[in-house]
Amino acid sequence: MPASRARTPRNTLSPELIVRTALELMESDGTSAFSLRGLAAELGVGPMALYTYFRNKDDLYDAVRNHLMGLLPPVPDGVPWQDQVRAVCRSLRSLMLQHPCLAQLLAGRPLSGQETARVAEGLLGVLRSAGFDKETAARTHTTLFTYVLGSTSWEIQMAAERRDPEAWRRLRTTMESLSATEFPTVVELAPELSRTTGGDPQFNYGLDLLITGLEPHTT
Amino acid sequence: MPASRARTPRNTLSPELIVRTALELMESDGTSAFSLRGLAAELGVGPMALYTYFRNKDDLYDAVRNHLMGLLPPVPDGVPWQDQVRAVCRSLRSLMLQHPCLAQLLAGRPLSGQETARVAEGLLGVLRSAGFDKETAARTHTTLFTYVLGSTSWEIQMAAERRDPEAWRRLRTTMESLSATEFPTVVELAPELSRTTGGDPQFNYGLDLLITGLEPHTT
DNA sequence: ATCGCTAACGTACGGTGTATAGTACACCGT
DNA sequence: ACGGTGTACTATACACCGTACGTTAGCGAT
């Protein structure tokens, strides 16, 4: 018991600290490079210490996702339902862009956790108030949610591809090697395809398509 | 030379055989359980033999994805463009449902490969013929593609969750523990949400929303 | 008959998640 | 004041992963 024993003090860890640090690591090094061992090292702790707070890696992922979902702003009121829908969708999108790991966290394991329910509550409330019947509201919620998820994840993937020079080069050469007789339209529209990839205008274009199609459904 | 030497004969492997076997493994054991070592074992070969045909695991994934995309049927003609769009989107969706690993393959690495270009060619051609200008055609293609991808991936994830009893139980208890005062709409619409999750009607609902919104854009 | 090429091999390395068992401290009833 | 107990953390170990490296065996061409 000579106190020379340099054991770490007792309560250095907490779920919040772990989640926060995990998030930082995922954002600085990329989600795929994230590992429990790396996280433990960053926290100055053995890998197994994390298992005191989380049952396994997926459980930690759940917590991080839940934490991120909690950052979503509330739905604005006092504006037409179309604008409320737009606001909710854009909030989710911009959160995903700000925290690229969120896309993979959402893809890996569908809705669960209190915070995910909160965003559903917001969107469903808007739709119900706008006069959608129960079933249409549910369907619309799923449609909007999956659209935001799919298009934003895609955008993030494309951006990541562009950052990896090797992958980007391969993509370009594949594109350019396409025979103009076999793929006339792709070749003709190549400039538009690469110019319009991603970005707010692309996102808003699809979102407005959905909302336009939605209007006849309000009672 | 005495054939007693039990080395495998020479050309047991081929890219096609590897891709086909990899696909079978992914579909029987799940994408996440797939490993190069398992694949090599299935082929009766050492792990490193695969590197003769593929530069690394991602390269193999690319090949599998390309192979799957090649299974898409051609675009029907002689029908209105709306029906052509529906056909293309439904083909992709049903291919993803038939080969669940495709969702993850598409999520993991965006478009690349000849076969992916072929589906783009089909859809873009339809849109151009329908009178969309270049930019709108490109935007619309991206929107439709990401919608199909997002909503079908989501559906597959949900179905997988439902098959894992542990995850499914956790989800149900989370759902049921939601306070009816904090999440009134979610609680009220719980039946609709779980009833309408996934399935062709849900998919077609969103798809028709998009197509409806699209109509004013033809020249 | 021999040589060179290359397909497939074996070995090894550094990494992963996590099961299991152990250890030292903080707290508590006495 | 003190021994017991729970808990927060450590140590060790296992099975598995992708893949870099160097080697070998069988075929086609010479």
- What does the DSSP assignment read for A89-156? HHHHHHHHHHSTHHHHHHHHS-S-SHHHHHHHHHHHHHHHHTT--HHHHHHHHHHHHHHHHHHHHHHH
B51 nearest nucleotide via C1' and CA: D19
Q: Closest Cα to residue B125, out of B72, B96, B93, B85?
A: B85
Residue B75 contacts residue B28 (beta carbons within 8 Å)? no
Least confident range of A187-196, B10-19, B72-81:
B10-19
Between CA A77 and CA A133 the distance in angstroms is 20
Residues of chain A with CATH 1.10.10.60: 15-54
Task: Identify which of B121, B183, B209 has the shortest CB distance to residue A210.
Answer: B209
Residue B68 contacts residue B105 (beta carbons within 8 Å)? yes
B13 nearest nucleotide via C1' and CA: C7
List bases in chain C with any atom under 7 Å of a protein Cβ: 6-12, 15-21, 24-26
Tens place of pLDDT for every residue, chain A, 219 residues?
333 233 445 577 899 999 999 999 999 999 999 999 999 999 999 999 999 999 999 999 999 999 999 999 999 999 999 999 999 999 999 999 999 999 999 987 777 778 888 889 999 999 999 999 999 999 999 999 999 999 999 999 888 888 877 778 777 877 788 888 889 999 999 999 888 887 999 999 999 999 999 988 787
B163 touches strand D (CB under 7 A): no
> Max alpha carbon distance in chain B (Å)?
83
Distance from CA of A193 to the nearest CA of B (A): 5
Looking at the complex, does the CB of residue A174 fall below 8 Å from at least one CB of chain B? yes
Residue B72 contacts residue B98 (beta carbons within 8 Å)? no
The CATH number of domain B15-54 is 1.10.10.60:
yes
Q: Distance from CA of residue A130 to its chain's centroid?
A: 27
Between CA B163 and CA B157 the distance in angstroms is 10
Residue A1 token pair: 């018991």
Residue B10 confidence (pLDDT)? 58
Q: Closest Cα to residue B123, out of B42, B191, B210, B193?
A: B210
Instruction: Work out the pLDDT band at B2, boundaries 50, 70, 90.
Output: very low
pLDDT, tens digit, 9 for 90 and up, residues B37-48: 999 999 988 889
Contacts of A146 (CB under 8 A, 6+ apart): B147, B150, B151, B153, B154, B206
Q: Closest Cα to residue B187, out of B177, B199, B198?
A: B177
Looking at the complex, does the CB of residue B28 fall below 8 Å from at least one CB of chain A? no
* Ramachandran region, residue A126 (left: φ > 0; alpha: ψ -120 to 50; beta: rest): alpha
Between CA B31 and CA B25 the distance in angstroms is 8
Q: Closest Cα to residue B187, out of A201, A114, A110, A104?
A: A114
Between CA B209 and CA B70 the distance in angstroms is 28
Residue A46 token pair: 């053995």
What are the angstrom distances between the C-alpha of A134 and each of A77, A130, B187, B192, B195?
21, 11, 12, 7, 11
Looking at the complex, does the CB of residue A138 fall below 8 Å from at least one CB of chain B? yes
Q: H/E/C letters for each residue in A27-38?
A: HHHCHHHCCHHH
**Phi, psi dihedral angles at B51 (to 5 degrees):** -70, -5
CATH assignment, A77-217: 1.10.357.10
Residues of chain B with CATH 1.10.357.10: 77-217
Between CA B16 and CA B71 the distance in angstroms is 14
